[in-house]
């Protein structure tokens, strides 16, 4: 896949380095150019960054053999923020479901960002965690405490490691697919099968870096497996239980869109449009009201299970649906009683 034009303003990317090639710059391969500027950089790491699409020149992703010319703006962007953005403790209330010396289980509200990012350098779960617990271990992306994450507008359960040993033990469970994660989702359309499995590699959409995309042939991205089960059919929408075997970015959101059942009010994937139903003004008004009740994607991380890293005991946590999602489902249940698609 060749380079493509895209301004590096993706909320998932963070600027780590930025250099402007001087007027006297002779053409020089970008990997060699960066070696001259970045302290402690190795050629191998720079070339890997280029292969992963993290080196940009004048707003375009380039390969390592790109020749830097006078006046070029060279940026290195990664999906994890520079370490200094993570270290500000903030006194933000946390809904702690469980806590001991090794770990915490937190019920994250919708709207709270898990870790700092563009436009969200404060008010995140990490800022709150650092205030609550002074010394948190970092994961491989240098994010304190995080074993896994959920999207800003998804609510529900997260486990946070408080020690290095807990981080290693819990991360291995997620990697080995032995942890239990169940989500409740409201999706557009009547899902035909009562239960099923969606398999399809997931990678960033090359035309829109804010979206992920399914690559069913497995030629790009990482393996992703979602098991779903119909809980209730509500006419133009369906209530599902989704169990994750893998945990990729936006996995349920992009997998459900892939099978033609985008999450209700998932703006990023088109679920904020009326995708099923009638053209009657009354129906449109009903859906608009449902969007107002639930102004986010209809997704909640309801159940979380794992083996405790110290005691070896299997722990399972369950939460009620948050008020906005529960009210939206009630509205659809009532509508389904009085109308037939």
Active site residue ranges: 151
Helices marked H in the chain: 30-37, 43-51, 125-132, 164-175, 251-258, 281-293, 323-338
Q: How far apart are the first and last CA of the chain?
A: 44
Angle at 113 between CA 157 and CA 115, to 5 degrees: 95
Q: State the pairing for strand pair 73-78/208-215.
A: unpaired
What are the start-end ranges of the E strands in 86-194? 96-99, 103-108, 155-161, 180-188
Measured distance CA(176)–CA(88) in Å, rounded? 32
Contacts of 22 (CB under 8 A, 6+ apart): 70
């Amino acid at each position: 896949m060749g380079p493509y034009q895209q301004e590096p303003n993706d909320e998932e990317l963070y600027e780590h380095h930025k250099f402007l090639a001087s007027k006297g710059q002779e053409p020089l391969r970008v990997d060699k150019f960066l070696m001259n500027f970045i302290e402690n950089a190795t050629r191998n790491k720079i070339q890997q960054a280029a292969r992963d699409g993290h080196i940009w020149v004048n707003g375009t992703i380039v390969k390592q053999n790109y020749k830097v010319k006078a006046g070029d703006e060279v940026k290195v962007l990664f999906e994890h923020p520079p370490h200094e953005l993570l270290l500000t403790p903030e006194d933000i209330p946390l809904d702690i479901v469980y806590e001991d010396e090794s770990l915490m289980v937190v019920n994250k509200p919708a709207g709270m960002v898990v870790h700092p990012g563009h436009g969200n350098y404060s008010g995140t779960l990490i800022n709150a965690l650092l205030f609550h617990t002074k010394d948190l271990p970092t994961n491989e992306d240098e994010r304190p405490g995080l074993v896994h994450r959920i999207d800003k507008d998804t609510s529900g359960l997260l486990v946070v490691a408080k020690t290095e040993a807990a981080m290693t033990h819990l991360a291995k469970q997620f990697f080995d697919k032995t942890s239990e994660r169940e989500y409740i989702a409201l999706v557009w359309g009547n899902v035909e099968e009562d239960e099923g499995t969606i398999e399809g590699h997931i990678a960033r959409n090359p035309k829109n870096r804010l979206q992920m995309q399914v690559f069913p042939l497995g030629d790009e991205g990482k393996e992703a497996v979602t098991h779903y089960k119909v809980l209730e059919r509500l006419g133009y929408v369906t209530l599902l239980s989704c169990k994750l075997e893998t945990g990729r970015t936006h996995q349920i959101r992009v997998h459900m869109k892939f099978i033609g059942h985008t999450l209700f009010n998932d703006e990023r994937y088109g679920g904020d449009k009326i995708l099923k139903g009638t053209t009657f003004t009354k129906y449109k008004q009903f859906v608009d009201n449902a969007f107002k009740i639930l102004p986010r994607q209809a997704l909640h991380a309801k159940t979380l299970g794992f083996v405790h890293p110290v005691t070896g005991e299997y722990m399972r946590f369950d939460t009620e649906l948050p008020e906005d999602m529960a009210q939206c489902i009630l509205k659809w249940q009532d509508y389904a009683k009085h109308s037939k698609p």
